[in-house]
A = this chain, B = another copy of it.
C-alpha cells in the first residue's frame, strides 16, 4: 500500500506472515490508528482546558511518536509513513472542506462575501509579493545563495497558503460568527488563489514577464474561481434533484447517505480532473447540499449525514496534524540540509517574520476599505477584530507542507542542501505557528472580545440590523395576502432604494424570492418537503 508510502527499512517484512499484507503497512496503520484513538481520548480530557485543542494534541503526540520511532530506529528514521501529497489531497482534505461547506452558516458567509473575496484574492496576492520580496532581500544576508527567482516566488506562494483546518478548531462559529466566516471563508478562497499562484510560478518563464502575463494570471484565476464554483453548485443541485425525484428514502436511508457522500467526493474529483480548484468546488457542493439535498432525505439520514460528515472531517483533521507532527522529525531532510542550527533558526524566523508582515500588510488596509463600503457602524470590522483576523490567519498547515515538498523535494535546479533547508524551515514555521498561535488564539479571543467588550456580547452582527428587520418584514408580510395594498408601492420603492444603499441585503432578498419560486420547487429544500425543525447548522441559518 503505497498511499502511505511506508519505510520498509524500519520494519522488515516477515516472510512467514499468515496475512497477505505488507507487515510494515500494517504496523504503520496500527500505530496511526492507536495514536488517533489516543488523540481523541486526550482531546476529550483536555476539553475544559482552553489552551489545548485536538490539533495541538495531535501535533505534539505525533512529535512524541516521531521521537520514539527515531530512538527505536537508532536515528535512522523518524517516520513510519512518508508524507504523501496524494493521501493528503485525495483523501484527507476533501472531507474537511466539504464538511466546512456543509456546516457553514450560509447567511453569515454570504453577507460577508465581498470582504471574504477581498481578503482571499488581493490579500493572498499581497502576502505572496511581500514574502517573496522579503525572502529575496533577506536570504542573501543569511548566506543562502543557491536559490533562483523561481524558488523565491515559490516560497511566497507556499507560505501564503493559510491553514483553514486549524482555524476551524480555534474559532467558534457560534461565539464569533463574523470572524469565523471571514477567516474561514478567506481560507477557502485563499486556497484557490495560492494554488493558482503556485502553478503559475512553476510554469513561469522568468525571462518573459510582462503585463500580459499578469493579465493572463488574473484571467486564469477568474476562470478557475467561477468554473469551480459552478461545478460545485451543479453537482449539489443534481444530487438534490436525484434524491428528490427518485424519493430514495422510500427504500433505504443508507443509499441516500451513500449517494450524498459519493456525489460530494465526485465533485472534488471532477474538479481535479478538469484542472479546477477541487476545494472551492467541494465547498460550494457542501453549501448547496445542506441547502437543498439535506432537506430531501429522511430524518435519520439528516442526523446521520450531519454527524457522519463532521466525524469524518474530524478524523481527517486529527490525522493531518498527527502526520505533520510525525513528519517534522524527518531525519533525512535534517541531515541533507546540512545547515547549522543558527542558519535554520535564522531562515525560519525570517520566513515567519515575512508571514507576519505579509498578513498585516493586507488585513488592516483591506479591512478599512471594507469598512468604508459599509454604512452602518455595527457591521464594520473594529480594530480588535482586525487584529484577530490577522492573528488567526497566521497559522500555516498541511497545505504549506505539501506544496513545499512538491517544490523542493525533487527540484532539479536548486541545490539539495538549500532545498532541504527550505523544507525543514517550512516545517518549523508550520509547527511553531500551529502550536503557539493555535494555543494562544482561543484565550486571546475570549480576553479581547468576549470579556473586555461586554456590551458586544459576542459579535456585532448578531444584533439584528435595521436592514435585516426590513427584509424580514418584506419577506413575511406578503401584501396581497394581507390585503394591505396601500402599503405596497412605498415598500417596493424601499427595496429598490435598498439595492443601491445596501446591495448585499437586497441581493439576499431577491435570492430568497428566486429560491422560493424556482429553485425549491425543483430541487427541494425546507418548506418543499415535510418540515423538520432541526438543521445541520442549527435552525436559524437555513433561510440564507
Contact = CB atoms under 8 A, between A and B. Distances in A.
A262 B314 CA distance: 12
B34 A266 contact: yes
B195 A257 contact: no
Interface stretch (A82-90, A180-188, A346-354, A513-521): A82-90
A311 B254 contact: yes
A26 B254 CA distance: 26
Most B CB contacts (10 A, CB to CB) among A16, A18, A30 go to: A18
Given A44-B255, A248-B44, A307-B253, A315 B262 contact: yes
A257 B307 contact: yes
Contact of A303 (B19, B26, B300): B300
A251 B306 CA distance: 16
Chain A's interface size range is: 35 or more
Contact of A1 (B16, B44, B90): B90
A86 B29 CA distance: 12
Contacts of A314: 254-255, 258
B40 A259 contact: yes
A16 to B, nearest CB: 6
Chain multiplicity (copies): 2
Contacts of A301: 307
Most B CB contacts (10 A, CB to CB) among A40, A270, A402 go to: A40
Contact of A254 (B19, B262, B310): B310
A241 to B, nearest CB: 12
Interface in A261-283: 261-263, 265-266, 269-270, 272-273, 275-276, 278
Interface in A32-62: 33-34, 36-37, 40-41, 43-45, 47
Contact of A258 (B18, B40, B248, B262): B40
A43 B47 CA distance: 44
A45 B251 CA distance: 10
A25 interface: yes
A242 interface: yes
Contacts of A26: 269, 272-273
Nearest to A239: B37
A311 B315 contact: no
A406 interface: yes
A3 B40 CA distance: 27
Nearest to A23: B273
B44 A257 contact: no
Contacts of A413: none
Contacts of A476: none
Most B CB contacts (10 A, CB to CB) among A253, A300, A308 go to: A308
A444 B282 CA distance: 45
Given A307-B304, A314-B254, A273 B30 contact: yes
Nearest to A313: B254
A30 B269 contact: yes
A307 to B, nearest CB: 4
A260 to B, nearest CB: 9
Nearest to A403: B20
Contacts of A84: 1
Contacts of A372: none
A302 to B, nearest CB: 9
Given A19-B275, A265-B33, A255 B86 contact: no
A20 B89 CA distance: 8
Interface string A85-124: 1110110000000000000000000000000000000000
Contact of A86 (B1, B196, B276, B311): B1
A173 to B, nearest CB: 14
Contacts of A273: 23, 26-27, 30
B261 A311 contact: yes
A487 interface: no
A17 B272 CA distance: 9
A212 interface: no
Contacts of A27: 273
Contact of A266 (B30, B224, B270): B30
Nearest to A199: B18
Given A259-B37, A269-B33, A307-B253, A86 B25 contact: yes
A483 B260 CA distance: 57
Interface in A437-496: none
10 contacts: A18-B275, A21-B89, A21-B90, A33-B265, A36-B262, A40-B255, A44-B248, A254-B310, A258-B311, A304-B307
Interface of A: 1-3, 16-23, 25-27, 29-30, 33-34, 36-37, 40-41, 43-45, 47, 84-87, 89-90, 195-196, 199, 203, 224, 242, 246, 248, 251-255, 257-259, 261-263, 265-266, 269-270, 272-273, 275-276, 278, 300-301, 303-304, 306-308, 310-311, 314-315, 318, 402-403, 406
